[in-house]
Amino acid sequence: MNANLSKSASNGREKVFTYVEQQEKIDEVRRLIGPLTGNLAFYCYDASIARYLRARNWNVMKATKMLKETLKWRHEYKPEKICWEEVAHEAETGKIYRSNFKDKHGRPVLVMRPSCQNTKSTKGQIRYLVYCMENAILNLPMDHEQMVWLIDFKGFNMSHISVKVTKETANVLQNRYPERLGVAILYNPPKFFESFWTVVKPFLEPKTYRKVKFVYSDDLNSKKIMEDLFDMDTLESAFGGNNQAGFNINDYAERMREDDKRVPLLWSSERASMVYEPTSAPGTCCDSVNVESGSDDSDKVGNSSSHDITPEKCLSECNSPEGNQSNDRVEGIHTDGGDVKLEKDLGNVTLNPW
């Protein structure tokens, strides 16, 4: 983490943590999670765990439960295995895509156009959303963890509203990719959307909906939000910028295919041989991770070493032929009902871009 202090709000009061206190909480979460192998092990580097802690106001137990649920989801859903060819049909209309420009902070931008919805499968729509999130994270610069959402409401009407898809989208964003959203711009939403927003808002964490900004092209004050956030020469004209280039499915497909080639470099088990096995407190079983449990022994701070190997460091090392070999297995993990069991039969650890 770059900051020496971390702040979080709880009951209107601000908590301030020193770097040492932050690290203790990170180590405690890692101890409670237990030994990990494969892709899941590298997912739990320091900055990644810190995102879960920030999402839960640095509450160790809540952050641990949230992270366990994500690990179970990643093991079963395998988001890193989704490739362009699987979801290309969802992208044909440009309903979601990563733009070829970034904001002034260097963050990648996901453009969304709900009026361009072209399928009826909620499952397919969410899978494409996950692919887009993974791709945006793949393209994060070294010193950034968050992205920007630009939501264009041109052509949007009541027929495009789906509470089910909205709830699923909120679940993916908040619970599977916590603290990945920097800001969401709702551009020219129609008047009736305000009523829909009232319905949707309860699905969102306060930290999430505070990141949502309403921008109207005929409002000088809200237009300034765009000018402060983007270089107007690179921003698409649809959002008030000077860039006339629009979405082209053929060009975008080529970009995504090239990005897909980079994914195995980050997940290859050949690029790392480290294994993380936390030091257990006496009497603590680290072999089983119970997703539903909130009663783990968290009174003691573990003395495990931190794993602060960032994805950017991995990219610089993934330049050998062996790095192109992808491993889709996660050693020593089994699902059993609501539990994720992580055994001590540890193998090589893959490089995880998250």
Q: What is the pLDDT of residue 39?
A: 85
Q: How far apart are CA 249 and CA 260, in angstroms?
A: 16
Q: What is the mean pLDDT of each run of 10 residues along the chain (354 residues)?
A: 44 69 96 91 92 95 97 96 97 96 96 94 96 96 92 89 84 94 95 84 86 92 92 95 94 98 75 42 37 42 44 46 39 39 34 44
Instruction: Quickly list DSSP for 6-69.
Output: EEEEETTEEEEEEHHHHHHHHHHHHHHH--B-HHHHHHT-HHHHHHHHHHTTT-HHHHHHHHHH
pLDDT of residue 349: 31
In 256-297, which ranges are E strands?
288-290
pTM of the predicted model as reported, rounded to 2 decimal places:
0.76
The number of residues in the chain equals: 354
Per the CB < 8 A criterion, the answer to whether 180 and 51 are in contact is yes
Q: Which of 327, 211, 310, 301 is nearest to 27 (CA)?
A: 301
How confident is the model at residue 167, as a pLDDT? 87
- Under DSSP, is residue 279 helix (H, G, I), strand (E, B) or coil? coil
> Quick one: pLDDT at residue 348?
32
Q: Token pair for residue 208?
A: 């999430």
